[in-house]
Structure 1
């Protein structure tokens, strides 16, 4: 049964419709076209990068970046133990080994001290995920001396001081999946200031076909292109960036106020950081978290547990050189509440009254 209040839904309007209909009318619906160029330029300006390559998904962006950096069999890539599975899966896809690192209790992003202990002669990079929209301690990670791929998939509109998420590391990636604050339905991008790296990623995303001579291939590539039709939707959303990001942040602030009144917690944050509100996260005792999910299901409200810590998955359980207690604990105690830019006051109040207030009363 479809939940009455979904976990997330895209906030689409007349601008999106106009751009998509224009792309349809033009006939440019595949992997080239003017909306792609405009979309890439809009994202580059937003995240203050010199080059952006739009691709078919955030996961594709990770895979192409790893391949462009020459990472493959025999190499290791450090990945946080608390994240959606895509970063670790991307490492396996290129034939390298993901090495799982625990997250910091300060902000639930990859712990720079623990990461430093995991660096070996085989380490080629780190994927630093801005977990739940909270930027990593990129300054500390940079001191480790290995290439950092900033996974900004969930952190549209986040910042460290005045520096926006997506501007850190040698290269950064975004996702524009339908549950993100800024969406193109599916889709992602790679952002970097390294022109040679951007050109290599663009080449690999287009079957590694020579730009000078069609159907000549000197490398093994793939089809990772974003379509002009997808970019039309993405451009409209990118032009509404502040509106969409601010709306989710206001919703998150309301949840925080309500949770505080009821004695429930929120995910930890680091001083000097402005997180984005991708999906608002409530933190409580594991048994209370599980009851929230049951209450939501019974009321038609899509409340979900966050991802399992990667070491708890059979595919990754042997890839953790050291225990990851912070990631495991966070995974067991956190849940997402419905978060969309157009979530109504009535819907927010329904979540509070049918989910938050009952569990707070029971645990008091």
Structure 2
């Protein structure tokens, strides 16, 4: 494709850091860049503790395990999201309960989530979908642990603080298509010291650093490598620049597509969403995607609603009509930080 869906924005500092890590020989799942990246994430989000891990999905699994979620438990998950939250619930042996979205935010509907709570509910995973924060004030009224999935929301905010700072714990993804990337990678953030210790223990094979090879629990290897963190440390230093770069791409798309039948995703006045991948809806979405792709543009239909997939359909106790509607009309356009204006214009022209 002439215009890929996304691409990383890497520079000299990322290369220098990786070269330094390689020269030191410290390239595995511990090292000074891992610690530096974790401290940077704490400063950016205001969280007390960050644990860098191998992926956003691993981060979700670790949080659920650290909260004691397991067989017989239920976790409420939005029906419109990448599959990782629901898959993480199944991985720890629990049952995902799919919930419809609020059409004004495309994030989990707090009222619908409240109707799905049972004595077996152990948590709600709230996904900041495509960079729009969830309504955490209303979710807090549910009085169950909220796990914020901020994988797509680098740089987003509400009046109460930055994405990554909500819930009993939050997670980030640093996959290559995110504004801040480590190639593959993730992080768990929390203000609860006991939960932080539990996450770190589980991610390090159930070993404490002070008692190597003495396994107190059955853990896993969920660690981020020092090489990945070397990239992440440089990216974190450019956090505001990279987030602002994608926001500018979103504003340019808005201008180019206005009046041509494409509707930008909704946002609420109490939120300052970030631009992960620029997203619009179109009444003939599939035809628009095909037209763009013929022009060399890697436009894509968004994920289907989980409630419409055979694998997850049984976990939707009620119809998820809003999730299904959005999933059938929304599409992504190529987006990356500092995407040239002529590229944005060419993509828009291919769509028009």
SS in 1 for 2:208: coil
Task: Please state if 1:121 is matched with 2:119.
Answer: yes
TM-superposed deviation, 1:58:
0.3
TM-superposed deviation, 1:129:
0.2
Q: Distance in 2 between matches of 1:264 and 1:352?
A: 10
TM-superposed deviation, 1:210:
3.4
Q: TM-score under structure 1 normalisation?
A: 0.95
Q: Distance in 2 between matches of 1:212 and 1:240?
A: 34
TM-superposed deviation, 1:338:
0.3
SS in 2 for 1:261: coil
SS in 2 for 1:95: coil
User: Equivalent of 1:202, from 195, 200, 203?
Assistant: 200
User: Equivalent of 1:103, from 87, 101, 104?
Assistant: 101
Residue 147 of structure 2 aligns with which residue? Answer: 149
Task: Please state if 1:255 is matched with 2:258.
Answer: no
Q: Distance in 2 between matches of 1:244 and 1:187?
A: 17
SS in 2 for 1:140: helix
Q: After superposition, what is the alpha-carbon deviation per residue over 1:124-168, rounded to whole angstroms, capped at 9, x for unaligned?
A: 000000011100000000000000000000000000025100100
Following TM superposition, the consecutive aligned residue runs of length 4 or more in structure 1 with deviations greater than 6 angstroms are: none
Q: Distance in 2 between matches of 1:352 and 1:62?
A: 36
Residue 19 of structure 1 aligns with which residue? Answer: 17
TM-superposed deviation, 1:271:
1.5
Q: Distance in 2 between matches of 1:269 and 1:42?
A: 28
SS in 2 for 1:28: coil
Residue 281 of structure 2 aligns with which residue? Answer: 283
Aligned residues: 352
User: Equivalent of 2:321, from 325, 338, 357?
Assistant: 325
TM-superposed deviation, 1:342:
2.7
SS in 2 for 1:52: strand
Residue 216 of structure 2 aligns with which residue? Answer: 218
User: Equivalent of 1:349, from 326, 330, 345?
Assistant: 345
Matches within 5 A, 1:40-189: 40-161=38-159, 163-189=161-187
User: Equivalent of 2:28, from 27, 30, 33?
Assistant: 30
Residue 269 of structure 2 aligns with which residue? Answer: 271
Task: Please state if 1:6 is matched with 2:4.
Answer: yes
C-alpha RMSD over aligned residues: 0.8
Residue 291 of structure 2 aligns with which residue? Answer: 295
Q: After superposition, what is the alpha-carbon deviation per residue over 1:211-231, rounded to whole angstroms, capped at 9, x for unaligned?
A: 332211121100000011100
Residue 362 of structure 1 aligns with which residue? Answer: none
TM-superposed deviation, 1:259:
2.2
Q: TM-score under structure 2 normalisation?
A: 0.99
SS in 2 for 1:246: helix
